Structure 1
Amino acid sequence: MNQRGPVSVDALHRFDAIIDARSPAEFARDHIPGAINCPVLDDEERRIVGTLYKQQGPFEARRVGAAMVAANLAHHLRTQFAERPAQWRPLVYCWRGGLRSGAMVTWLRMVGWDAQQLAGGYKTWRRHVLKQIETMPPQLDLRVLCGPTGSAKTRVLQALAAQGAQVLDLEALAQHRGSVLGALPGVAQPTQTAFETRLAHAMQALDTRRPVYIEAESARIGCLNVPQPLVQRLRASPCIEIQADTPARLDFLLRDYAHLGDDPALLAERIAALKELHGKQVIARWQAWAQERALAPLFAELIALHYDPLYARSQNTHLYQWPQRHTVNTEALTPAHIDTLARQILALETADRQLTNAAPGVACAGAGPARP
């Protein structure tokens, strides 16, 4: 039976499974990507043990908790672990790499599996995530997709990924589309820590020698904050602007945001968040259209009075290479046109690379040095 000591985060890939022994609530807040939750104490049991520890001391807490742990481990052995082969190698972690994961590792080793414990538990993982968020963004060769609301930036990003490009889709990681109307129907955003874990995991998978396409985002997506190292790298990176006329953008929004008409009361409530910017009369008109499911006039005015003015003010302020941006034009934003835009954007990269190779030391438009 293998009795090696706790292992580091760098060794995660060597194991057949990663087991989170914490309670379901802890697991829901954040966990190592790919981990399965096999709690040794559920949420209520953890509360009971914690209360006993405070009121009656550690012995009583451990006596009661041990029975709970034994019952839960027996359940996992009969269910989650029942079909695992003799050669199975799981890595187990809890909050600090202490009693909970230690108890599970002991039992798994008694069965005969080569179970190991993550040194420092989830807290070690969290430190790893924060280090990745700090150190990875400066290494990324970002290309920032820009364009006013309705330019299909997210769909173009998805088309780029389908055509083999590297992308970092912040809205997908945050489970939100970024604007006041960007909440996804029936989908809650992750916690801030879970978002950061997803982001670190996504960045770690990128090849820093190749360009990475990313959508221009503010420092906040829904209720989540984009880490500052990535915000600063994004703002200092070359820009590519998608240009489409207003009718094309409106047509796209009516297709892509059609779900907003499914809940008029909720849509009206979200529009109320813009009251300070546009006044009671305008908001009342927009809310009336929302209640009537009249999305065409509502979206048209949101473009003209809210989103386009905001876009015009923000780009040159927040994107340091905005004056040197590349542009790609389209007459429509159908799926076929979006695929064409992605090909045009990839062609820009090829042209830039050829120009750089032909004239070493000369920076091409849109790919100059970052502003300090």
Structure 2
Amino acid sequence: MSIAFSSVRQFLDAPFDTVIDVRAPSEFAEDHVPGAINLPVLSDAERAEVGTVYKQQSPFLARKLGAALVARNAADHIEGPLADKEGGWQPLVYCWRGGQRSNSFAIILRQIGWRVEVVEGGYKSWRKAVIGMLHDAPLPHRVVLIDGNTGTAKTDLLQRVAARGGQVLDLEGIANHRGSIFGGMGDQPAQKGFESRLAAALARLDPVRPVLVEAESSRIGELSVPPSIWAAMCAAPRIEVSAELSARARYLAEAYADLVEDAELMAARLDQLIPLQGHARVEAWREMAAKGDFVDLAGALMAQHYDPRYDKSRARHAPEVRARVDLGDMSEAAREGAAARIADLLETG
């Protein structure tokens, strides 16, 4: 049997014990329903082999080969990852379009006695729901931005507000990037995977309550903020946080300790600013890094590069500032106090 879903929330709320993506590993790596596990019935190489036989020989021979491979891989999954599943286990299975791969696997699982459902339309129906949510329709959520110059601990404050029960959407965390040329935190997800994670996060939030989002550009690293989210961000009121440059510099040097410890990576990132700041200024910054003057380097980067760019952007967009919060010395206590005030501002409007 197959089951149809028309929204992201329906997918996530479906009462199944396990969601199984039977597509090839490369398909799963690009994007999948959040929380799904990958039990491919055809590997990438096997899928390519079946496709070649289909095109160069005949559909019949391709189906025959595919059936043998699916049966062999299904046996490995049943004896491996599924070996501990009891008789009452209820899985939901999907492939690319809800066709042969998912149905073939589901038939085998049903013969064991498990109550299996197949997603009608497969992964494509999930992707359609994500596009409908993030591209085609306006968000129902009431977005409020936390804004401030570089080094004002916006991500830290976002996490503290969440710990107090506030609703937040952590774009940088989901994108695995801190939003500047110094912001890489490892591999980023593919664009489709990024959008699936965003859709799942938004679906779990109450649209009646405000959602705090860090003010970002339309790109985070290599990823684009989907249009519905970006439109909501552009129209959103802001809570502006501020602190003295010296306090921000100290905080930033600590927050980017991973980058500070990698001299070669730091030099490479600074070199990316040459087209914007020129060789002489970047060379001065590189000398600070080489000497270990990271607090001074952070201060110089903010005063000479980031703060002017933020000011120019704000002058162009003239955002609505709902409230301003001073972070003081940016100590632990100061940030906790600021988070408490921001959480109150969210709930009181």
Residues 188 and 116 of structure 1: CA distance in aligned 2, closer, same or farther (over 3 Å): same
Q: CA deviation at 1:317?
A: 2.3
SS for the counterpart of 2:115 is coil
Name the structure 1 match of 2:287. Answer: 288
Which residues in structure 2 correspond to 1:145-160 (within 5 Å)? 145-160=146-161
Q: Are 1:336 and 2:347 matched, yes or no?
A: no
Equivalent AA in structure 2 for residue 200 of structure 1 = A
Which residues in structure 2 correspond to 1:67-82 (within 5 Å)? 67-82=68-83
Q: CA deviation at 1:293?
A: 4.1
Q: Are 1:104 and 2:125 matched, yes or no?
A: no
SS for the counterpart of 2:105 is helix
Name the structure 2 match of 1:42. Answer: 43
String of CA shifts for 1:210-232, please: whole Å, max 9, x gaps: 11111101000000000122112
Name the structure 1 match of 2:22. Answer: 21
Residues 101 and 311 of structure 1: CA distance in aligned 2, closer, same or farther (over 3 Å): same
String of CA shifts for 1:289-312, please: whole Å, max 9, x gaps: 334443223212101110110111
Name the structure 2 match of 1:304. Answer: 303
Q: Are 1:221 and 2:216 matched, yes or no?
A: no
SS for the counterpart of 1:80 is coil
Residues 40 and 258 of structure 1: CA distance in aligned 2, closer, same or farther (over 3 Å): same
Distance, in Å, in 2 between the alignment partners of 1:84 and 1:143 is 44
String of CA shifts for 1:121-168, please: whole Å, max 9, x gaps: 001110000111146653111111011000000000000000110001
Q: Are 1:61 and 2:25 matched, yes or no?
A: no
SS for the counterpart of 2:325 is strand
Equivalent AA in structure 2 for residue 55 of structure 1 = Q
Q: CA deviation at 1:319?
A: 5.3
Equivalent AA in structure 1 for residue 130 of structure 2 = V
Conservation of the 8 A alpha-carbon contact between 1:264 and 1:292 = no
Q: TM-score, normalised by structure 2?
A: 0.94
Distance, in Å, in 1 between the alignment partners of 2:41 and 2:116 is 15
String of CA shifts for 1:240-269, please: whole Å, max 9, x gaps: 111110111011001101111222111211
Number of aligned positions between the proteins: 345
Equivalent AA in structure 2 for residue 8 of structure 1 = F
Which residues in structure 2 correspond to 1:1-372 (within 5 Å)? 4-8=1-5, 10=10, 13-134=14-135, 137-184=138-185, 187-318=186-317, 320-321=319-320, 324-349=321-346, 352=349
Q: CA deviation at 1:6?
A: 3.9
Residues 344 and 50 of structure 1: CA distance in aligned 2, closer, same or farther (over 3 Å): same
The alignment yields a C-alpha RMSD, in angstroms, of: 1.7
Distance, in Å, in 1 between the alignment partners of 2:56 and 2:97 is 23
Distance, in Å, in 1 between the alignment partners of 2:37 and 2:181 is 34
Conservation of the 8 A alpha-carbon contact between 1:170 and 1:214 = yes
Conservation of the 8 A alpha-carbon contact between 2:24 and 2:47 = yes
Distance, in Å, in 2 between the alignment partners of 1:97 and 1:317 is 48
Conservation of the 8 A alpha-carbon contact between 1:29 and 1:194 = yes
String of CA shifts for 1:65-100, please: whole Å, max 9, x gaps: 222111100001101111111111111000111111
SS for the counterpart of 1:139 is coil
Stretch of structure 1 that moved more, 106-115 or 50-59: 50-59
String of CA shifts for 1:7-49, please: whole Å, max 9, x gaps: 3353651211110000111111000011010000111111221
SS for the counterpart of 1:46 is helix
String of CA shifts for 1:165-221, please: whole Å, max 9, x gaps: 00011001101000111101xx21000000000111111111111111111010000
Conservation of the 8 A alpha-carbon contact between 2:133 and 2:228 = no
Distance, in Å, in 1 between the alignment partners of 2:226 and 2:11 is 26
Q: TM-score, normalised by structure 1?
A: 0.89
SS for the counterpart of 2:273 is helix
Residues 95 and 291 of structure 1: CA distance in aligned 2, closer, same or farther (over 3 Å): farther
**Percent of aligned pairs with the same residue?**
43
Equivalent AA in structure 2 for residue 64 of structure 1 = L
**Which consecutive unaligned segments of at least 5 residues does structure 2 have?**
none
Distance, in Å, in 2 between the alignment partners of 1:303 and 1:26 is 41
Stretch of structure 1 that moved more, 96-105 or 272-281: 272-281
**Which consecutive unaligned segments of at least 5 residues does structure 1 have?**
353-372
